[in-house]
């Protein structure tokens, strides 16, 4: 079965090459504007529902934080540490492992090999479930781990207790991520949006019942988190099995073939994304060593929570551009790939600028949602300029990460992240925060510098990329990662994964 052509001709056939279905070279502002409008529609047709889905999923975290935050400052800081350190560590690693599926499914769908998507999904579920087992000791021994990282005992103990209660949520990710990538590769994203919306409503009701009505406190919030996460995972799996007959052909022994090769691909994706996710997690850990740790961690966590809301929009854009890039490379359309990236980067920068302005205007008010403490609200207001700048810089990075996943450049981006974040950003933040006594503002300022350098380098990489060569490499990658199934004509460059 062949995939639906990604470049339809209706209304703009004069922009399309009759021979290969790709865009013709664009010349003149009028032609550029038409291509920009076309790509904008395509981006948000995919990215809109994905962004909405991610916002709803992130909303479960924020709703949990809101309910627990009104129990007290210690409870808020403990929950923030549990979610920001242990939860973010595992979430980033699991998301990265699952992103290997995004590369292969997107390119296979673009090349018309839809029947492979179900095999890839099963293989990813097996790998991610095994990864959950490996991460389990981190949850069981969360309290001593947090103390080893220097967290205050008053925060580490309740944070460890909460982390232990959300172990079921960890295992739900082994179903949630593979089914998401399976559906996103085919642009079947409306179902994901509806499932996430219902899950968010369900989570609000559960938190109200367990925390406010029954008085279970943070433990009730953890139980609600587990139930909501598994409800989402089961709903997505049921939709895949019941309504996606093209990509889902039932259980297959081919899912166990080439398992180690798929693990290596997953690890390459995990390293790239984890270096990004853990970077912001590390500022929470370092802040826990400052004086007045409860206020410092709480105020920073509120800012990170707000930043997370914007980041969820860009994760939606990340997934959309990843689908566009992988599909177009699989279809052999280098110019469509390039033009879609240009349009997406421009719009992401515009969204980041708008978010920065909103935060600066509302800097004295938005923290009321999370806490009743005047001290905490004032601390958040002081950090708001750094939050706004972070939002602006983070508008480009997710786009390029999506391009990397779609095109298979995970290793290259991982090296850039390692250099900018951990060789430049973190050491500078440590110097400003501890040696220059600038506190949390210094820690965050150093990390902003690392993010700025990373954004600049990634833009240079995009500008210098030869997309015709990327199309040729895609065919090679699909051939290698076909899993030994007879008759497969696969897609890309395997050097990034070896």
Q: What is the pLDDT of residue 493?
A: 36
Q: What is the pLDDT of residue 481?
A: 55
> Tokens 């949630």 correspond to what residue?
176
Contact by Cβ (8 Å): 399, 321: yes
- Is residue 2 in some structural domain? no
Is residue 269 within a helix (H) or strand (E), and if so which, with residue range? helix 259-287
- Is residue 28 in some structural domain? no
| Structural tokens at position 163 | 């982390």
Q: Going by C-beta distance under 8 Å and a sequence separation of 6 or more, which residues neighbour residue 67? A: 207, 208, 211, 212, 221
Neighbours of 77 (CB within 10 A): 29
Among residues 267, 313, 275, 307, the alpha carbon closest in space to that of 497 is found at: 267
Q: Which domain holds residue 283?
A: 45-497
| Structural tokens at position 279 | 């970077």
> Tokens 């992130």 correspond to what residue?
58
Among residues 310, 273, 298, the alpha carbon closest in space to that of 101 is found at: 273
Q: What is the pLDDT of residue 492?
A: 36
How many whole angstroms separate alpha carbon 457 and alpha carbon 470?
A: 19
- Is residue 413 in some structural domain? yes
Among residues 150, 437, 482, 402, the alpha carbon closest in space to that of 284 is found at: 150
Q: What is the pLDDT along the chain (498 residues), one digit of tens a residue?
A: 344 444 444 445 567 766 667 788 888 888 889 889 888 988 888 888 888 887 888 788 888 888 887 777 777 778 877 877 788 788 878 888 887 777 777 777 877 777 778 888 888 898 899 999 999 999 999 989 888 877 777 788 888 888 999 999 999 999 999 999 898 888 788 999 999 999 999 999 999 999 889 989 888 998 999 999 999 999 999 999 988 877 788 787 776 776 777 787 778 777 777 777 777 667 777 776 666 667 777 787 788 878 877 877 887 888 888 888 888 887 888 888 888 998 998 899 899 999 999 999 988 888 888 777 888 888 888 888 989 998 888 888 778 778 877 777 777 887 888 898 889 988 998 898 888 888 888 888 888 898 889 888 888 888 888 888 888 777 766 666 554 444 443 333 333 333
> Residues of 156-192 as b/e, b for ≥16 C-beta within 10 angstroms?
bbbbbbbbbbbbebbbbbbbbbbbbbbbbbbbbbebb
- Is residue 39 in some structural domain? no
pTM recorded for the entire structure: 0.74
Partnered with residue 23 across adjacent β-strands are 16
| Structural tokens at position 255 | 């899912």
| Structural tokens at position 465 | 């990329």
Q: Going by C-beta distance under 8 Å and a sequence separation of 6 or more, which residues neighbour residue 301? A: 65, 76, 77, 80, 81, 84, 284
How many whole angstroms separate alpha carbon 302 and alpha carbon 65?
A: 9
| Structural tokens at position 37 | 């409008």
Q: What is the pLDDT of residue 238?
A: 94
> Tokens 């601390």 correspond to what residue?
379
- Is residue 208 in some structural domain? yes
How many whole angstroms separate alpha carbon 392 and alpha carbon 251?
A: 44
Contact by Cβ (8 Å): 185, 117: yes
> Tokens 């970077």 correspond to what residue?
279
CA dist 24 → 19, 222, 337 (Å): 10, 54, 12
Tally of structural domains, the chain: 1
| Backbone phi and psi for residue 484, each to the nearest 5 degrees, phi listed first | 80, 15
How many whole angstroms separate alpha carbon 351 and alpha carbon 317?
A: 11
- Is residue 1 in some structural domain? no
Among residues 140, 143, 98, the alpha carbon closest in space to that of 122 is found at: 98
- Is residue 19 in some structural domain? no
| Backbone phi and psi for residue 250, each to the nearest 5 degrees, phi listed first | 95, 175
How many whole angstroms separate alpha carbon 150 and alpha carbon 245?
A: 51
How many whole angstroms separate alpha carbon 269 and alpha carbon 273?
A: 6
């Amino acid at each position: 079965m062949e995939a639906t052509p990604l470049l339809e001709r209706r209304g703009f056939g004069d922009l399309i090459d009759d021979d290969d279905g790709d865009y013709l070279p664009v010349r003149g502002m009028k032609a550029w504007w038409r291509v920009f409008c076309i790509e904008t529609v395509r981006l948000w047709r995919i990215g809109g529902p994905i962004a909405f889905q991610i916002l709803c999923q992130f909303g479960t975290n924020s709703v949990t934080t809101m309910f627990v935050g009104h129990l007290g400052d210690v409870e808020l800081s403990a929950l923030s540490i549990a979610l920001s350190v242990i939860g973010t560590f595992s979430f980033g690693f699991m998301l990265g492992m699952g992103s290997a599926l995004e590369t292969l499914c997107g390119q296979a769908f673009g090349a018309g090999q839809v029947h492979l998507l179900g095999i890839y999904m099963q293989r990813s579920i097996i790998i991610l479930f095994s990864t959950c087992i490996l991460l389990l000791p981190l949850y069981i021994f969360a309290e001593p781990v947090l103390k080893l990282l220097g967290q205050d005992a008053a925060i580490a103990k309740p944070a460890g207790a909460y982390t232990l209660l959300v172990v079921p949520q960890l295992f739900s990710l082994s179903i949630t991520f593979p089914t998401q990538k399976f559906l996103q590769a085919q642009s079947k994203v409306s179902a994901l949006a509806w499932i996430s919306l219902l899950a968010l409503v369900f989570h609000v009701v559960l938190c109200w019942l367990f925390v406010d009505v029954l008085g279970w406190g943070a433990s009730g919030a953890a139980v609600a988190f587990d139930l909501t996460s598994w409800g989402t995972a089961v709903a997505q799996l049921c939709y895949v099995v019941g309504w996606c007959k093209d990509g889902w052909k039932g259980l297959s022994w081919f899912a166990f073939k080439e398992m180690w090769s798929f693990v290596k691909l997953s690890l390459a994706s995990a390293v790239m994304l984890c270096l990004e996710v853990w970077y912001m997690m590390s500022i929470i850990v370092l802040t826990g060593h400052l004086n007045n740790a409860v206020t410092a961690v709480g105020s920073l966590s509120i800012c990170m929570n707000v930043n997370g809301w914007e980041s969820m929009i860009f994760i939606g854009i990340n997934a959309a551009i990843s689908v566009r890039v992988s599909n177009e490379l699989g279809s052999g359309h280098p110019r469509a790939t390039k033009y879609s990236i240009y349009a997406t980067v421009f719009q992401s920068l515009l969204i980041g600028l708008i978010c920065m302005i909103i935060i600066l205007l509302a800097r004295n008010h938005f923290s009321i949602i999370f806490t009743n403490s005047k001290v905490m609200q004032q601390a958040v207001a002081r950090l708001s300029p750094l939050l706004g700048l972070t939002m602006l810089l983070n508008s480009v990075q997710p786009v390029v990460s999506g391009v990397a996943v779609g095109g298979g450049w995970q290793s290259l981006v991982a090296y850039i992240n390692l250099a900018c974040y951990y060789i430049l950003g973190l050491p500078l933040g440590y110097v400003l925060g501890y040696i220059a006594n600038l506190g949390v503002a210094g820690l965050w300022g150093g990390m902003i510098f690392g993010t700025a350098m990373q954004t600049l380098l990634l833009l240079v990489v995009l500008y210098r990329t030869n997309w015709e060569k990327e199309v040729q490499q895609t065919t090679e990658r699909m051939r290698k990662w076909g899993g030994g199934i007879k008759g497969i004509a696969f897609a890309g460059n395997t050097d990034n994964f070896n």
